[in-house]
Amino acid sequence: MKELTLNEVISKYIEKGFGSMNKNDFEVWIFHYLLEHELQGKKNYEISIGLKIPESKVKRLRYEAELKYSNNTSVDKYNMVCEHLKPGQTH
């Protein structure tokens, strides 16, 4: 995903139809972009401090962005969860 200019962001928003995204969808879209570019590798706590939002909101936004914009298939996600839950794995 390349970095977008403000004009490109506005164009992408208008593509979907001006006003067609509700506030939450818009926040999730922006959060996904930030995760891909500026927040990559940061922990939820660091993100919450940087964005001045509760850590619980960061977790929710991360979850929704993963569901909406992830390139992984359901099978890939299932396999990742199974791998993560194997006995002896450190989290």
pLDDT at 18: 86
Report whether pLDDT(91) > 60. no
Cα gap 47→87, rounded to integer Å: 30
**What is the average pLDDT score of the chain?**
84
For residue 54 the two structure tokens come to: 């509760």
Q: For the chain, which residues make up each domain, given as ranges?
A: 6-84
Whole-number pLDDT of residue 77: 65
Give the pTM: 0.68
Question: Using one digit for the tens of pLDDT, what is the confidence trace for 8-66?
Answer: 878 878 888 888 889 999 999 999 989 988 898 999 999 999 999 999 999 999 999 99
